């Protein structure tokens, strides 16, 4: 195992200050409670509980908030890597020291349509299929994915195993005999740069226009995104969420796990939808909505409190 | 791009009337707001907002409800394709002019058990596996599907990528040691004609009898259908819905996204279960149920109203 | 079809008593309502309705609770296989007579990393990929699964088609530009002995430690298990459930379909979370919680009752 020291950190990671003892080495990154003497670890917030864990950990390198120096004297026993955003600092240390970048490659079992446009510097995993679609540079598709035709995937996108992108949207009209005839789905899917998509998620193609996943959007596992959905930059869609057709989601939105959003509505920029919440009308910008049906969080909490009081 | 005119429409599409100018051509179908002068477009309902969009669109061909002629004078500037069900009319125009039917084919990477019974005129996509099961004529299985043994798929069925059909149902009995022993699942799955199933959905085989998906049923993405479920003709099961074991769903039922239905209950013909609703008891015919737990929609709405009033 | 008699049952199944006529044979196992004269069937509970079904069934062999002898006289017309746990007895009869054990085998289309450690007596299905991971003896992986690196799968595990195990967990930190940078996921997944996992489920690898699925845990279809989750022995996770990151679930827990559990909380041993429930705080041992948000079942039921009364 390779050993690193405080100079290596200074060289590779920015926006930090380093205090305490400078003569330690680290060879691994671990969770604080099961670290060894060569570990680098982190704490998110300075709480009494976290300070206790620091005193108990064997790790010598600790990434923490800058203000920790006021709370506890570790100058002689630890090397403190301090910043305003220790989570970000720690993840950059992990990336700089412990993540090996694999060379781009296409697995021999991948199946690629002759009319697909695959950039250079792309990874395509085992058994992944790519139709008449295009894949941008730096993009990584893991195995067992199925990319239909009419999908445009931008640069530096990561798609985990088992995803289906570009399947026909769910649209039907009832005919004279009470049967449903399927509405042809002729649009595509655009996935912009730096998007990440979790395992077994599905994104349907648009009906006449495209389904669009904006730059930097992060999508978790088992998420359903219906036809004609548009998701703005840097929004977060967590696991098992259902986004029905034609929903417009703004930028910087956070959707908690297993939420469900009815078709056609809009979610404003920087808003949050709580876990399991069922959004049935549009949500303005900068709000937190929660509940079934989703409502502003204060209203939700007052309802909860009211009910609790009634049945005591 | 091929150009079509009003005579082509008359020839290929029924139950319509055509008014306005008859000398335009169309070469593409688009959403009304981003159409060009050679587009055919549609509007669902005649609302002030929709009429405004018609006045702004560049499209010359507009599919709409018959009554639109009373609302607005477009006789000189547009060609109106009118019917009582413009969605159905438009989808049939899309099918007639813009959907190319692919020839049936089996991808070389598909894996088919020697004992499978595959009809003529079937498409089987890349990396799809078919066990000792049968596939009816006109059926299309997209890629990365896994069809276990004991599955009977009827005619003109479409199954999107990543589906798993015929997996063992989730049944266990606790033994003397507090461990769960799995209940053998010996039934199969029947999927009747004209069923459509979305991406990454799963349908379990029955325990002793079959799981049955009735004719014309449409199932969206990421739907779970447990063992011994029976779904009647022309029902709609939208995305991320959970249908637990032995549920009986009638004909013409509509289940909105991410609903969850407890095992063993019955959903009557033509009933609707609302988005995110959790059905824990049987629902009669022709009713709309909503909420957690699902209840008749009027009761649900009165509860919502009551709570809203209390916490104002 | 092979014919069996009461002596065969005595030989292969324990903890039963047999009363009634002993000269019948059975050749198949069926549901009680569509049995024939050579069927063996079972009933779960002795209810008037079930007794009626026994009187109507053509089956001669009936598995039931011991106390049935007091309720109904079948001594001359049926062969009764009696036990305290007829479900367990019937499943063991199914296993003993009607489940053929397939020989272990690796399908030629499976893709296995040269550094994977595969025990003897393992089945690996079509198009399944296994990375630098290990698979214990007696374990069966169905087709179209994707097992990333750093996954340790124990003995006698069964994983249904389409599962993804060991994908990167969903962890991000917002950087100086409002973009999300992904937190490297360096842990693995441990799946202990006798675990069963349903179709298209996903289990993420841990961040710095492992995600752990304890011995005997049963997981249904389309379940999401986030990074660093730990699930104790013999817990049951039903379909479409979402278990967010770092949740600790005790032993013998039952999670009903489409429940959602917020990150970081603990679910105590032998507790139950009801269908569709949204758990947002830790749940003690031996409790049943239900609702949105999940609360002790009595509180939930009183709230439901209160609301029902108000809006009558």
- Alpha-carbon distance of B116 to A31, in angstroms, equals 51
* CA-based nearest residue to B251, from B206, B212, B201: B212
Q: Which of B183, B186, B260 is the closest to C276 by Cβ?
A: B260
Q: Does C242 touch chain A (CB under 8 A)?
A: yes
- Alpha-carbon distance of B102 to B100, in angstroms, equals 6
Residue A175 backbone phi and psi in degrees, to 5: -95, -170
Mean pLDDT in residue range C285-295: 98
Mean pLDDT in residue range B209-233: 98
- Alpha-carbon distance of A218 to C181, in angstroms, equals 10
The string of pLDDT tens digits covering residues C131-156 is 999 999 999 999 999 999 999 999 99
Q: Does C303 touch chain B (CB under 8 A)?
A: no
More confident residue, C44 or B290: B290
Q: What is the DSSP string of C63-122?
A: EEETTHHHH---TTT-EEEEES-HHHHHHHHHHHHH-PPPPP-B-TT-EE-TT-EE-SS-
- Percentage of chain A exceeding pLDDT 70: 100
Task: Check if the beta carbon of residue A29 is closer than 8 Å to that of residue A98.
Answer: yes
The encoded tokens of residue C198 equal 């349903």
Q: Which residues pair with C28 in a beta bridge?
A: C39
Task: Check pLDDT > 90 for residue A193.
Answer: yes
* CA-based nearest residue to C85, from C61, C65, C70, C62: C65
Asked about C227 being catalytic, the answer comes back as yes
> What residues of chain B lie within 8 A of the CB of C198, using their CB?
167, 170, 202, 204
pLDDT grade for A101, boundaries at 50, 70 and 90: confident
More confident residue, A73 or C85: C85
Residue B233: predicted pLDDT: 97
Residue C31: predicted pLDDT: 94
Task: Check if the beta carbon of residue C62 is closer than 8 Å to that of residue C81.
Answer: yes
All residues at 6 or more sequence positions from B148 whose CB lies less than 8 Å from its CB, including other chains? B131, B133, B164, B165, B166, B167, B205, C161
- Alpha-carbon distance of B198 to B256, in angstroms, equals 14
Task: Check pLDDT > 80 for residue A312.
Answer: no
Other C-beta atoms lying within 10 Å of the C-beta of residue C155: 17
Indicate the average pLDDT of chain C. Answer: 96
Residues in chain A: 312
Residue A1: predicted pLDDT: 78
More confident residue, B217 or C177: B217
- Alpha-carbon distance of C311 to B300, in angstroms, equals 9
* CA-based nearest residue to B246, from B158, B187, B192: B187
The string of pLDDT tens digits covering residues B150-208 is 999 999 999 999 999 999 999 999 998 889 999 999 999 999 999 999 999 999 999 99
Q: Report the run of H or E that residue B299 belongs to, with start and end.
A: helix B297-310
Residue C72: predicted pLDDT: 77
SS3 content of chain C, % helix, strand, coil (to 5): 15, 30, 55
Chain A to chain C Cβ contacts (< 8 Å): 152
Residue B239: predicted pLDDT: 98
What does the CA dihedral C5, C11, C17, C18 come to, rounded to 10 degrees? 10
Mean pLDDT in residue range A150-166: 98
Q: Does A182 touch chain B (CB under 8 A)?
A: yes
Mean pLDDT in residue range C4-32: 95
Cα angle at A283 between A281 and A288, to 5 degrees? Answer: 125
Residue A76: predicted pLDDT: 85
Q: Which residue has the tokens 């912009």?
A: A192
> What residues of chain B lie within 8 A of the CB of A301, using their CB?
none
A259: nearest CA partner in chain C: C260
Indicate the average pLDDT of chain B. Answer: 96
The string of pLDDT tens digits covering residues A208-231 is 999 999 999 999 999 999 999 999
Distances (CA, A) of B184 to A117, A217, B167, B224: 47, 43, 11, 19
> Judged by CB atoms within 8 Å, which residues 282-301 of B form the interface with C?
292-293, 299
Residue B180: predicted pLDDT: 95
Task: Check if the beta carbon of residue A218 is closer than 8 Å to that of residue A254.
Answer: no
Task: Check if the beta carbon of residue C149 is closer than 8 Å to that of residue C133.
Answer: yes
The string of pLDDT tens digits covering residues B237-268 is 999 999 999 999 999 999 999 999 999 999 99
The encoded tokens of residue B139 equal 């059926």
**Do B208 and C29 count as a contact with CB atoms less than 8 A apart?**
yes
Task: Check if the beta carbon of residue A31 is closer than 8 Å to that of residue A41.
Answer: yes
Task: Check if the beta carbon of residue B149 is closer than 8 Å to that of residue B133.
Answer: yes
Mean pLDDT in residue range A137-150: 98
Mean pLDDT in residue range C47-69: 92
**Do B144 and A167 count as a contact with CB atoms less than 8 A apart?**
no
């Amino acid at each position: 195992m390779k050993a690193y020291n405080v100079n290596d950190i200074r060289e590779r990671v920015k926006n930090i200050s380093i205090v305490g003892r400078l003569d330690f080495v680290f060879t691994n990154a671990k969770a604080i409670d099961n670290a060894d003497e060569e570990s680098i670890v982190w704490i998110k917030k300075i709480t009494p509980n976290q300070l206790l864990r620091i005193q108990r950990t064997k790790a010598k390198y600790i990434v923490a908030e800058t203000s920790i120096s006021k709370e506890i004297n570790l100058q002689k026993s630890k090397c403190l890597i301090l910043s305003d955003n220790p989570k970000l600092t720690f993840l950059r240390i992990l990336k700089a020291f412990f993540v090996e970048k694999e060379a781009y490659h296409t697995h021999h079992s991948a199946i690629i349509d002759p009319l697909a446009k695959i950039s250079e510097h792309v990874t395509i995993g085992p058994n992944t299929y790519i139709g008449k679609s295009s894949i941008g540079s730096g993009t990584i598709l893991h195995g067992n994915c199925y990319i239909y035709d009419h999908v445009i995937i931008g640069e530096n996108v990561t798609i985990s195993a088992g995803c289906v992108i570009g399947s026909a949207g769910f649209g039907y009209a009832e005919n004279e005999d009470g049967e449903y005839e399927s509405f042809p789905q002729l649009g595509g899917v655009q996935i912009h740069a730096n998007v990440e998509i979790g395992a077994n998620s599905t994104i349907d193609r648009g009906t006449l226009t495209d389904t669009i996943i904006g730059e930097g959007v992060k999508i978790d596992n088992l998420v359903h995104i219906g036809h004609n959905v548009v998701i703005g930059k840097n929004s977060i869609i967590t696991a098992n969420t259902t986004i029905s057709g034609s929903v417009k989601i703004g930028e910087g939105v956070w959707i908690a796990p297993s939420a469900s959003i009815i078709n056609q509505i809009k979610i404003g920029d920087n808003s949050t939808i709580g876990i399991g919440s069922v959004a049935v009308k549009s949500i303005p910008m900068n709000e937190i909505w929660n509940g079934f049906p989703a409502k502003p969080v204060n209203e939700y909490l007052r309802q909860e409190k009211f009910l609790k009081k009634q049945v005591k």
